[in-house]
Structure 1
């Protein structure tokens, strides 16, 4: 963990294949279908998924299932493997930026679209478990949502969860995005938005793309400043969560808040 990383501070279908992807596939003579071995491979992979689920499938095979829709007449295993090699695992493929995905050979607009649909679906399902519900009594669901939304991102993101008097989550908003080790934070904007929403409490959340959730000195200082501003308005900061790749750190549990 780089002790010098810091927040910036201001004062208080589904879709048919896109033409780019189709162009990557070798032209098929009229009336000729894809080789039978491709159809057989796809059928076997789908059957394995339907019978046993995704648990026993390696990441590249799960990616293949998604890529089948985007590239219907080509062996997509090489592309699936390239994506895993480039980004590291299934989750990081889904959360990679569109520009970085398209930089991978064979990943055109249709491929990116399918991957982003899956990412959006996963986030929406996780978010549905916590929105408009008492957060403190469903803490694990909240952690699961934060990991789904933020753990594998390549840049820092700062989110604020706004709660009402019953600790029901009434808004989940991205306050800022930054770089790989820096995100600008606006304490006055956070407090102003809390007052607009009539929020009684906040949970601060940001990720560390390095994977290590250990807080820097500036993380701790900034959290204290936000908490001080919130306290002056009668707003409680329940916690500040730093989301790493495989675990999170709670300021409250660590005695930092």
Structure 2
């Protein structure tokens, strides 16, 4: 006798066991298993374990998958609109959780959380991105804005535009942040020159540049720590 029309797919039991493991000890799951679960709702009609493993292998890790460009995700067979949406949703939820730990708080006193947020939002970007953290007089973060996006190794930054935006927000201080897609956070000569131009433009208007952070993969560089500010 053939299986009934409402018979569960062969992987249903595996999904139930994985969910139970997750609820009991989420830290016990491997990265591919977390990704597998993220894909459950997006791809209900097939076993998502092979796809999760393929994505991890292609991009190098869970963070890299979540930060991958949509076009590159779609290069993997089986990744369609719903899967892309689920992955983007997971990334956005993680970023908002990280951001909540620093927004409207004294970032100088929450430096570790700030570094974690910057790493989560920028470390795996395939192109350079320049963002500015705007602070009030109590060093509370009042705005976090991406100012410019560039190519693999260059982002155009205009000091007057940076300072103009600070004045619009009534910010008293700035923390500059950008990423190096190469993974090496060592500041370049151009980075140093641009930072000094922003400092020179901001200082007469009473706006201080607290630091410039360069985010790499698993590492970061601080201009202030390096004595460049």
Q: TM-score scaled to structure 2, two decimals?
A: 0.96
In the alignment, what sits opposite 2:160?
A: 188
In the alignment, what sits opposite 1:13?
A: none
Contact 1:34 1:74 in 2 (8 A): no
Superposition pairs of residues 199-238 of structure 1, within 5 angstroms: 199-238=171-210
In the alignment, what sits opposite 1:49?
A: 22
| Shift, 1:178, TM fit | 1.1
| Shift, 1:34, TM fit | 4.3
Give the total of aligned pairs. Answer: 227
Rounded to whole Å, the distance in 1 between the matches of 2:21 and 2:39 is 16
2:148 counterpart SS class: strand
Unaligned runs of 5+ in 2: none
Rounded to whole Å, the distance in 1 between the matches of 2:75 and 2:30 is 23
Superposition pairs of residues 233-244 of structure 1, within 5 angstroms: 233-244=205-216
Rounded to whole Å, the distance in 2 between the matches of 1:75 and 1:119 is 22
Rounded to whole Å, the distance in 2 between the matches of 1:105 and 1:85 is 14
Rounded to whole Å, the distance in 2 between the matches of 1:218 and 1:33 is 63
Rounded to whole Å, the distance in 2 between the matches of 1:62 and 1:152 is 19
The answer to whether 1:128 aligns with 2:97 is: no
| Shift, 1:155, TM fit | 1.1
| Shift, 1:38, TM fit | 0.3
RMSD: 1.4
Rounded to whole Å, the distance in 2 between the matches of 1:247 and 1:56 is 25
| Shift, 1:56, TM fit | 2.5
Contact 1:157 1:207 in 2 (8 A): yes
Rounded to whole Å, the distance in 2 between the matches of 1:192 and 1:33 is 63
The answer to whether 1:31 aligns with 2:5 is: yes
Unaligned runs of 5+ in 1: 1-28
Rounded to whole Å, the distance in 2 between the matches of 1:130 and 1:176 is 22
Rounded to whole Å, the distance in 1 between the matches of 2:103 and 2:63 is 23
1:185 counterpart SS class: coil
Gap change, CA 1:157 and 1:241, over 3 Å in 2: same
Contact 1:201 1:238 in 2 (8 A): yes
| Shift, 1:184, TM fit | 1.4
Rounded to whole Å, the distance in 2 between the matches of 1:79 and 1:183 is 34
Rounded to whole Å, the distance in 2 between the matches of 1:256 and 1:224 is 9
